[in-house]
Structure 1
């Protein structure tokens, strides 16, 4: 993963209490799993940041390397 992508991921995680790396956006998810997680967070009234990995191929691959997990969505919660 390049440094710019690593910095982008760390910035999103540092700036948000709850961050969902997903396919699409919370208002327009592009896969069923992303939709499911987003909808659960909305039902629970959790304030979260949705990050659309489909807009950036480096981010899409980078978040997988960052977490050492091969699939998306990925949900991060501080503390």
Structure 2
């Protein structure tokens, strides 16, 4: 997993998520909503989150779920 996060950006914990009553999952990057997961996609995501071993793995799952956050050119503000 060391090769995936070479610059240790996930240690800053930029990603977070919230789950609503109807199992809709809202994904956030630095406090801004970037994606919404519903239905089967949300269920699969929550199942993966329950299996995560540590905070770093949770951040990696969130980064992958949000999509286009691989290039390293994301703006800081």
TM range (shorter): under 0.3
TM-score, normalised by the number of residues in structure 2: 0.27
Structure number with the higher helix fraction is 1
Bigger-Rg structure (1/2): 2
TM-score, normalised by the number of residues in structure 1: 0.27
Structure number with the higher strand fraction is 2
